[in-house]
Structure 1
């Protein structure tokens, strides 16, 4: 008898990656929780990075039409920063 492992229903989902342009016109790719991200000279390079980092899941990449700023603190970026709000959180 051959044992077969059934697919797990609790397989972790690939991370959502946001891409778009920052206020200086550079391309930004950033994981939704701020775990990874970077600045890029082109949309193609931002997409390539996002695909590499999220395990080649294009369905989890969201391109924003609004400004997105890179969060370099390594923690979840406040929604206002991700979507270009002029208001900054008070520390």
Structure 2
């Protein structure tokens, strides 16, 4: 039997999940407030995780082209700073 971890508890279903590559080329998926996130070997795995964690809402996933570093302490840059020339909605 395969064990499956339940999704993280969310304060808001509308929270953005940011995905992109870090400075080492790994894929990062992280909720905008740092509530959940992870490192992945492929974009497909980052997307799969983001969809699982956000309750399958692709409209709340944003892929960014600049480097994004996983921050386990929830200190991502304010969302407005992330949406410069490199913003690209996934959905």
Structure number with the higher strand fraction is 2
Matching residue of 2:49: 49
Deviations 1:9-33 (A, max 9, x none): xxx5432000000000000000000
Aligned match of 1:77 = 76
Deviations 1:25-47 (A, max 9, x none): 00000000000000000000000
- Paired position in structure 1 for 2:89: none
Instruction: Give the RMSD, CA atoms, in angstroms.
Output: 1.6
Bigger Rg over Cα: 1
Q: 1:1-91, aligned counterparts within 5 Å?
A: 12-73=12-73, 75-79=74-78, 83=82
Task: Name 1:8's counterpart in structure 2.
Answer: none
Structure 1, unpaired ranges of 5+: 1-11, 84-91
Separation (CA, whole Å) in 1 of partners of 2:65 and 2:76: 18
**TM-score normalised by L of structure 1:** 0.69
Report the number of matched residues.
69
Query: Structure 2 length normalisation: TM-score?
Result: 0.69
User: Which residue of 1 is the match for residue 3 of structure 2?
Assistant: none
**Residue aligned with 1:72, SS:** coil
